[in-house]
Amino acid sequence: MSRRSGTCLSSCLIMFAVISALGVCGPVLYWRFKKSLRSADSKLSCPPCICNCPPPPLSLVNISPWLANLSDTDCGSNDPDLKQEMEKQFVDLLTEELKLQEAVAEEHDRHMNITFGEAKRAKALLIKERKVTRTWEHRAREMGWEGE
């Protein structure tokens, strides 16, 4: 009986492995097979093209004209702004970058100071409002109000 149950168990495991493999690989194989059938059908159903035109020449200039200008050494020499920018030294560029960062930091500080001043004013208004509220509450208690 144990040999028969072992055979049954191994056959069940093999069936489970085959079903799992088909479950994983089946959809991929199905779509690939369907795509190949569709492309074979489209090749058969499409009439052949009859054209006596020569194929267009493919060159680097035709594909992307801007690539042909990369080897040009005087590129941008006609543009005075670009020429001036390219002539700047590395130190000048770093100095300019630091000035820009300093301007941004100053603007940030100014914004923070304005926000801080507004917060101080709001705090002062709240303190004044609390003082007025306490005064009115004190008067109300003197008149007999018991509060909440």
* Each residue's pLDDT tens digit, 69-118: 555 555 556 777 777 777 777 778 888 899 999 999 999 999 999 999 99
Among candidates 20, 19, 39, 21, which has minimal Cα distance to 31?
39
Quote the CA–CA distance of 42 and 99 in Å, as a whole number. 65
Q: Is residue 43 located within the same domain as residue 84?
A: no
pTM for the complete prediction? Answer: 0.35
For 4-35, the pLDDT digits (tens) are 777 888 888 898 888 888 888 888 888 888 87
pLDDT at 140: 93
**Residue 26 to residue 20: CA distance in whole angstroms:** 9
Token pair, residue 33, equals: 């097979």
pLDDT: which is higher, 37 or 95:
95
Indicate whether 74 belongs to any domain.
no
The boundaries of the domain holding residue 12 are 1-47
- What is the count of structural domains for the chain? 2
Residue 107 lies in a domain: yes
**Statement: residue 132 has pLDDT above 80:** yes
At residue 54, what are phi and psi to the nearest 5 degrees? -75, 150
On whether residue 94 sits in a domain, the answer given is yes
